[in-house]
Amino acid sequence: MLDMTRIPKHVALVMDGNGRWADKRLMPKMGGHNAGMKAMKEIVKRASTLGVEHLTVYAFSTENWKRSAEEVGGIFKLIVVYVDNELKELNENNVRVNILGDYSMLPSESVERINKALETTKDNTGMQFNIALNYGGRDEIKRSVQDIAKLVKAGEIEPEDITEDLIGEYLWTGKHHADSPDPELIIRTSGELRLSNYLLWQSAYSEFIFTDTLWPDFTPEKFEECIEEFQGRKRRFGGR
Ligand code: IPE
Ligand code: IPE
Ligand code: MG
């Protein structure tokens, strides 16, 4: 049974397996991404209902540019479709949308829809929905270091003032951007046992759940099972 008093505040998802889901059905890859978007819609709703305060999804990595122009373009087009279909309901559910990553190089139509989603939901006080888009953990740490280096160069801080907290503040999840705590739970679907450059800094003490389920088959019930498994974990943070 889920303990509703111990729902993790921040859950992060690696939505992997869309391609294999499509392959199994002899479909083009985009059929898998489309099904993946539908699965994501349901997880967002359930997470919000359960009282998850921050939900982060890995939608496109800094390495995903290696894919064909057709697939990359198709994924960015799906963002347009998602906002057009879902923004009203997200807003009604008091969800606040945030982007982790520099999305300015996406096609203008996608940038425009993202800006609309950010603007429409910016004052909402319910679940914060972070979409990691053109996101890479190493890129994020590099950017934080660059921002802090500028402060040092300008004489605003001394090198000794650089703390772990300060580095965290300039990450996409930090207080200058999305302002989300570190995820207690990271779930990756499709059986791959790796992080693929996701939330490298923030995952220092996260609990991990890897499931063989391909992302389009990941249901709200399976999401709840993962939270239940998380609730059975003993977290020690290095202590006794
Ligand atoms: C994850 O599914 C979605 C994105 C990376 C955008 P994949 O497309 O990586 O699916 P597999 O890993 O090929 O099955
Ligand atoms: C991670 O999945 C990125 C997203 C889910 C957006 P990938 O499919 O890109 O990761 P690798 O290539 O298997 O490591
Ligand atoms: Mg994959």
The residue contributing the CA closest to ligand 1 atom 13 is: 19
| Bridge partners for 153 per DSSP | none
The residue contributing the CA closest to ligand 1 atom 8 is: 19
Per-residue pLDDT, 121: 98
Per-residue pLDDT, 201: 98
| pLDDT score of 36 more than 90 | yes
| pLDDT score of 129 more than 90 | yes
Instruction: Kindly state the average pLDDT of the residues 140-150.
Output: 98
pLDDT > 90: what percent of the chain? 100
Active site residues: 16, 64
For the segment 4-16, what is each residue's pLDDT rounded down to a tens digit?
999 999 999 999 9
CA distance 138 to 201: 9
For the segment 159-208, what is each residue's pLDDT rounded down to a tens digit?
999 999 999 999 999 999 999 999 999 999 999 999 999 999 999 999 99
Whether residue 37 contacts residue 117, with contact meaning beta carbons closer than 8 Å, is answered with no
Q: Residues whose CB is under 5 A from ligand 3 (ion)?
A: 16
Distance from the alpha carbon of residue 118 to the mean position of ligand 2, in angstroms: 25
54 three-class SS: strand
| Bridge partners for 207 per DSSP | 185
Which token pair is 149? Answer: 């280096």
- Convert 150-185 to b/e letters by CB count within 10 Å (16 or more is b): eeeeeeeeeeeeeeeeebbbbbbbbeebbebebbbb
Distance from the alpha carbon of residue 194 to the mean position of ligand 2, in angstroms: 9
Q: Name which of 51, 126, 132, 39 is nearest 90 in CA terms.
A: 126
Confidence of residue 240 (pLDDT cuts 50, 70, 90): confident
CA distance 240 to 135: 35
Instruction: Kindly state the average pLDDT of the residues 31-57.
Output: 98
CA distance 87 to 173: 22
Predicted TM-score of the model (pTM): 0.98
